Amino acid sequence: MSIKLFAICVTTVLCVGYVAGEYCYNDVVGACSPVGGEVQNCNSRYGAFKGDELLTNVQSYANTHILRSFQFLLMSSHFGNFEKNRGGFEKLYKQLSDNTWEKAIDLVKFIGKRGGHMNFRARKDEKNEKQIDFEMYELGSMARALDMQKGLAEEAHFIHAEVTRRKEHDPEVASYLENNFVHQHSDIIRKLSGHTNDLKQLIANQPDPSLSLYLFDEYLQKSL
């Protein structure tokens, strides 16, 4: 008799827990009742996306990609004009612009997939962002591009860290960041750092680095 009683108690507890977790179902039942109601929980938000903190961080990250895309495009246009005529630098920054733009679109799609919406005003303020000049010389532009790419990588690491240490652990978000951002950032940063150091060595201690800059630009055009 005691075993039967124990089984009944366990079954009751499980049923109560199951019903308590049926938030969408309860919304639908309430909406279809004579009184009516809303179905706020019938969405694809779960895990770490249930709250607004992670959603805001991902929205901000998407907006940062949009901004960086236009900044890279400005740098590309600067080196593509008739005065500079640096086709290699133009091509490099155009590729970086296209890449960050595609990543921004992918982030917006991911936000929608996880039940959120895109807020194009959500963005972390950066110090002295408005005073940055993107019409630079070759070496300075390469260093700027490297810093911009490192910033994107570090922001991805920040979001990844927030996801992994939250109570609502969300492996899918962590996996998405690793596969679509973290590994690619490592490759891009390695290439940009290599270009920056190679260019620095080529023009170091030269009164007129014009030939070295021309040869490096030709190398970029052929290698990209």
Same domain, 102 and 6: no
Find the mean pLDDT for residues 63-82.
96
Higher pLDDT, 145 or 11: 145
Same domain, 77 and 188: yes
Supply 219's token pair: 């190398």
Same domain, 27 and 90: no
Q: How much is the pTM? A: 0.81
pLDDT of residue 34: 55
The CATH number assigned to the domain holding 127 equals 1.20.1260.10
- Given a contact cutoff of 8 angstroms between Cβ atoms, the answer to whether 202 and 212 are in contact is yes
Which residues span the domain enclosing 58? 47-223
Same domain, 18 and 106: no
Same domain, 120 and 12: no
pLDDT of residue 51: 81
Same domain, 209 and 155: yes
Find the mean pLDDT for residues 35-51.
73
Same domain, 123 and 165: yes
Same domain, 94 and 154: yes
Same domain, 7 and 103: no
Higher pLDDT, 135 or 144: 144
Same domain, 20 and 87: no
For residue 17, what pLDDT band results from cuts at 50, 70 and 90? very low
Does residue 38 lie within any of the structural domains?
Answer: no
Same domain, 77 and 13: no
Does residue 40 lie within any of the structural domains?
Answer: no
Q: Give the count of domains, the chain.
A: 2
Same domain, 85 and 23: no
